[in-house]
Amino acid sequence: MHSPSPRPLAAHRPAAPLAGTLRVPGDKSISHRALMFGALAVGQTRITGLLEGEDVLRTAAAMRALGAEVTQDGPGSGTWRVAGRGLGGLVEPADVLDMGNSGTAARLLCGILASHPIFAVMTGDASLRRRPMRRVTDPLAACGARFASREGGRLPLAIEGARDPLPLEYRVPVPSAQVKSALLLCGLNAPGLTRIEEPEATRDHSENMLRHFGAEVGVEEQGRTRIITLRGQPELRAADVAVPGDPSSAAFPLVAALLVPGSAIRIEGLGLNPLRIGLFDCLREMGADITIENTRIQGGEPVGDVVARHAPLRAIEVPWERAPSMIDEYPVLAVAAACATGTTRMLGLKELRVKESDRLSATAAMLTANGAKVEISGDDLIVYGTGRPPAGGGRVETHMDHRLAMSALVMGLAADAPVTVDDASFIDTSFPGFVALMNGLADNGGVEPLRAP
């Protein structure tokens, strides 16, 4: 599905401010889960607003290979239907499951397969094959599943699901919504109570959607610790899902509007789950002009419209506790920090080292290549802002990381000289139409600000 050769792209400062009303693609986390839970439920689930990026399409293909009927109402419609198999009803796939670039799909699917008595082999692209899977396979093995992988727990991965799965009890060592969700998905097909402790609250889309489909999920707060319990072997009932706009995708046009003088944009129908919008808290502390309007609840998730206007930014210290609510947004926050006045410190970013790339080192390299001063101290990222955008003019190595590529392009819209990324083809994994959308916000005298170098 990826383009066979790299597709370089350069971002130039637009001639006029960014302006307009837009919608970003559907939330990626919710899209993955809607397809998976629909496949495990009895009956037909209708999904609207589904993200039709490559990562989610890999999940759709995997659920189809496992026996669910997954159909699209029409090209680009965002409306899909899933006729589920019911818990325990998945069939053994005839071929290897290729999860492309999606760590979320791969890890959550490990959870589903672990408690179904079938054999499957999973692989992914070059980036995903470098990413560790033992963080999910080690705790999942306690249910009775067996896993065989390359050294370090890396894909390709062979999974032999448990015939008589046991419920799990596990304390997640570091905050990870993917690990938590994989364990919950495993617990669905095991009798008894699955119990998971997480040291910090992480995005709770799985808990919300499990309830939406009829599962019994309990959440108890003990200080910072959250204890999640799931009653196994529920009868999941098909339930329609309206997917809100993805706040991680909205981060890019939003930060661009803050950085390009005179800009004002409105993003409609955006998911505002409090465990996903740590970036908004950071930007407001930095002095950003961000307002939220028309809030409502949609499918168990808070949704609203977000208005962002250009404003000068100042440095802050980002506490490590905020990382789970914005783990994908640090590269674009680092771009904002490079344009702010003063020294911004982002603490406790160990988790960034195991994303699509070593995102911590790659973010520092992106800024350095374009004239910003930055350093890494342990697991902390320190950005020395000057109160104006970096000089730009650099070429950024994206390491097949879509969020790094989009962050660099946002920087190029504000920088003095164009910023070039070595490959923009991977952006479609999470944000199809990103380039056209950003170009549509910028009146650049007929010349697109994002264009081939």
Q: Strand 301-309's sheet: what is its strand order?
A: 19-22, 264-271, 301-309, 289-298
Residue numbers annotated as active site: 328
Which tokens sit at 266? 């409105």
Buried b (16+ CB within 10 A) or exposed e, 307-321: bbbbbebbbbebebe
* Partners of 382 in beta bridges: 345, 375
